[in-house]
Chain A
C-alpha cells in the first residue's frame, strides 16, 4: 500500500501532468462559466486532446477540468441568473438573489470552498468504497452485469429531471441507436442498409459530442441569449466570511456531501441530480427552509447543493472504475477514452494496476486543491469571464466537435454521426426530452444485450439464473424499488417536497 502510494506520487510528480492539470483547470473554468456550456460538453471537447496524452494525464485532465467546471457554473448563476452548468441550476435563484442583495462574494466564496470540500469528501468515498465494491465485482458474471446495467438504465429514467415518459423515450432512442451494426452475440448485421461504414455501429463518443456540443452551438445560434449586466463583487474579507458561513451550516454541508456521494455512485445519475436532491433535503430540514429561493435568497442551499454536486462528481467514478459502467455522462466519455488508451475499467484495475489507481485518487484531491486559487482568481475576474463573444466561441466549439469525432476512429462516419446527433439533440432538448438517458441507452444498451445473450446461451434459455443467484436477486430487487419509486414517493411527499418537478 505505502509502496503503491509512493509510486503513485512519483507518477504525479511529472511536470507534464501538472501542466496538463493546470491547463485543463483553466479550460474548465472558462467553459463552466459560460452559461449553457456544460461540464459534459467540456469533457467531450477535451477528447481530441486526451487522445494524444498518456493514460494518466488524459484521466487527470478530465477529472480536473470537470471539478473546476462544476464550480465555475456557479459564477454566471450568481451574476446573471443563468446556471453555467446544469449542476448549478438547483440553487441559481438563491445565488442570484443574494448577489443582488450585495452578498455576491459570500455566495461565490461558499460555492468555491464548499465545492472543494465536497470534491475531496467525494474522493474519499471513492477511495474507500471502490476497492470494497471491486471485491464483490470479482464474483460478477454475465447475470450480475446484466442487472447492474438494467439498474443504471432504470435510475437514469426515474431520476431524470422533467417528464419520466420523455426520459424513457430518450432512453429507448439511445438503446435503439446502439443496435446499429453487427449484433454482438450472433454476428448478424442490423440497420446497416448494406453500408460498410455502418457495420461499426454508432460509436457513443461522437454521438455524445454531437448531443451535448453541437446542439449547444445550434441553441446559441438559434436564440442568442441576452448577456446580463456587469455585477461588481467586493471580495474583501471573502474567505473569513465564507468559513464562518460554512461552519454555521456545517450540518447542511455534511448531508449535501453525503447525498452527493450516494447519488453519484448510482450508475446513471450525476452532479445535477445530486444538487436537486440536496436542495430538496435542505429545504425540508432547515429551520429557514421557507426563505429558500425567495426574497433575498438564502445561503444554506448553496452550501448543501454546492458541495453535493462536486461530491457526486467524484463518487460517479465508483461504478465507472469498478464495473466499467458510467456513473454519469462525464464518466461515460472517460470510459471511452480509457478503453482507447488500453486501460480496461473493471475489477482487474484494482488487483493489477494499483499505482495507477492511487494516482487517479490523488488527482482528485489535487484537482480540488487547485480549484481554490483558480476559483478565487475567477471570482476576482467576475463578470468579464462571461463576456466571450459568441462569434469567437461558436466556431471554436464546432472545430473541436469535428476534430474530436474524427480522432476516435480516423473515419468520416463519426463526423456524420456527430452532426446528425447535434441536430437531434437540439430538437430533443427543445421538446423537453432529457439527453442523459439517451446517452445511457447508447452506452448501456450493448452491455445489457451482450450479457443477456451470453447468459441465455450459457444455460440454454434457463432464465431462473437471473433471479436465483444471490447478487442477481439483490440487484433485481434494487431495480424494482427504483422503478416503484414514483409510486412510493407520494407517501414521503410531506417530508420531501419535490422541487424537481415543480421547477421544470
Chain B
C-alpha cells in the first residue's frame, strides 16, 4: 500500500511548494531598519508598517518602471517594505481613485500621472487633484511631433501649413481619444490658428502601437514623446520635427522646440508621488525629503539614462501649485478642442 500512496503525497508536496512560493512572493523584499532615522526622519512614528505604492497603469509599462524604482529606493530609505501595487483600468481612473481612497496616514501613496488633470473633464470620474496630497513630482516627458523619414515636411510649420490647407486629410496617433498626446495635437493646432480637427486622431493603445502604424504607413504623425519613439528615430525610419518643451531635450539636441518654430505651446506627460487628501504635514515632509535625495542621486540618473525618461523635480508645495495650474489649463484646452464632456 505504501507505493500506491505515493502519488497523493507527491501532489500534496507540489501544492505545498506552490503555496510556499506564493508566500515568498508576497512577503519578499523585507528591508532592514537600517535606513530609518537621519535628517529626513520628520515623522518619528512613520512608517508603522508596510507602505503600498499604487500605480494606475499596468506592470511592465513606463509608469510602472518609475514606480518600481522609487518603491525600491523608498524602501531602503524608510527601512520598511514598500509594495508596488498595480491598479489598472478605466484609463487611469481605477488607480487614482484607489490612491485617493487610502488612509491618509502615509501607508498608502501612489504615482499620479498627468491623466488626473484630464479624466474629470472627460466626465469619467469626479476625482481631481483636490482629493490628493502632493508629495513630489519626479518626471516629465514633453510631447513631440514625429513623422516618417520620407515625409515631405521638414519642420512643424510645413506640417501645420498642410493641415490648414486640407483639413482632415492627415491622421495622427499616440494614445486613445482624449489622451495626453491627443491634447498635444489639439493644442498645437489651436495655437497655430487651425481647427482642432485639422489633423484627425486615430485612437491607439499607446505610443508603441502608434509607432508601428506610423512606420507601416497607417497614420502620418505621432504626437508621443520623443523618448517613446527613440528606437525608430535611431534607426532613421522616422524623424522628429519638434519637441513641446520650454527648451530643447538634451537627448535630442538637434530637435527644435515648438516655440522656436513660432507656436507658443508646450505640454508633457508627468508623474509624481501623491497620497490621499489630508495627509499629515510631517509625513509629507519626510517622504518629500527622502524623494529629494533619491531623485537627485546617482541611481535615478542612471535609471533615466537607461530608460530615456526626463527629469523634473518639484517639491510638495511646487507640485501642488503645478497640479492646480495643470488642471485649469487642461480644462481650457479640452473644452476648446471639444474633448470635454
A residues apposed to B, CB below 8 Å: 19, 23, 26-27, 29-30, 48-49, 51-53, 139, 141-142, 181-182, 184-187, 189, 196-197, 199-201, 203, 339-342, 377-378, 380-381, 384-385, 388, 396, 403, 409-411, 450, 453-454, 457-458, 460
Contacts and interface: CB of A to CB of B under 8 A. Distances in A.
B155 interface: no
Nearest to B200: A457
Contacts of B201: 457
A26 B22 contact: no
Contact of B176 (A48, A184, A200): A184
A158 to B, nearest CB: 30
B14 A199 contact: no
B21 A52 contact: yes
Contacts of B190: none
A200 B21 contact: no
Interface string B1-40: 0011111101101110110011011100000000000000
Contacts of A453: 203
A interface: dominant SS: helix
Interface in B114-154: 122-125
Interface stretch (B43-51, B81-89, B293-301): B81-89
A200 B58 CA distance: 12
15 contacts: A23-B14, A26-B11, A26-B14, A30-B14, A142-B213, A185-B203, A186-B203, A187-B91, A196-B93, A199-B94, A340-B59, A384-B8, A409-B87, A454-B218, A458-B202
A341 B176 contact: no
B177 A186 contact: yes
Contacts of A200: 88-90, 93-94
Interface in B241-296: none
Contact of A23 (B17, B87, B176): B17
Interface of B: 3-8, 10-11, 13-15, 17-18, 21-22, 24-26, 58-61, 85-91, 93-94, 97-98, 122-125, 168, 171, 176-178, 200-205, 213, 216, 218-219
B90 A27 contact: no
A199 B7 contact: no
A53 B61 CA distance: 18
Given A48-B22, A342-B59, A381-B7, A458 B219 contact: yes
A339 B205 CA distance: 13
A380 B91 CA distance: 54
Nearest to B6: A381
A200 B8 CA distance: 41
B215 to A, nearest CB: 10
A55 B236 CA distance: 31
Given A26-B14, A142-B218, A411-B94, A378 B7 contact: yes
A410 B106 CA distance: 19
B218 A458 contact: yes
Given A49-B22, A185-B177, A342-B59, A410 B87 contact: yes
Contacts of B61: 342
B87 A199 contact: no
B89 A199 contact: yes
Nearest to A52: B25
B15 A27 contact: yes
Contacts of A377: 6-7
B200 A141 contact: no
A49 B18 contact: yes
Closest 5 interchain pairs by CB? Answer: A200-B89, A342-B60, A199-B90, A52-B25, A381-B7
B7 to A, nearest CB: 4
Contacts of A339: 58, 60
A182 B22 contact: no
B203 A409 contact: no
A182 B4 contact: no
A489 to B, nearest CB: 38
Given A185-B203, A458-B218, A197 B10 contact: no
B10 A182 contact: no
Contact of A340 (B60, B91, B124, B176): B60
Given A23-B17, A27-B18, A409-B86, A196 B97 contact: yes
B203 A457 contact: yes
A199 B93 contact: yes
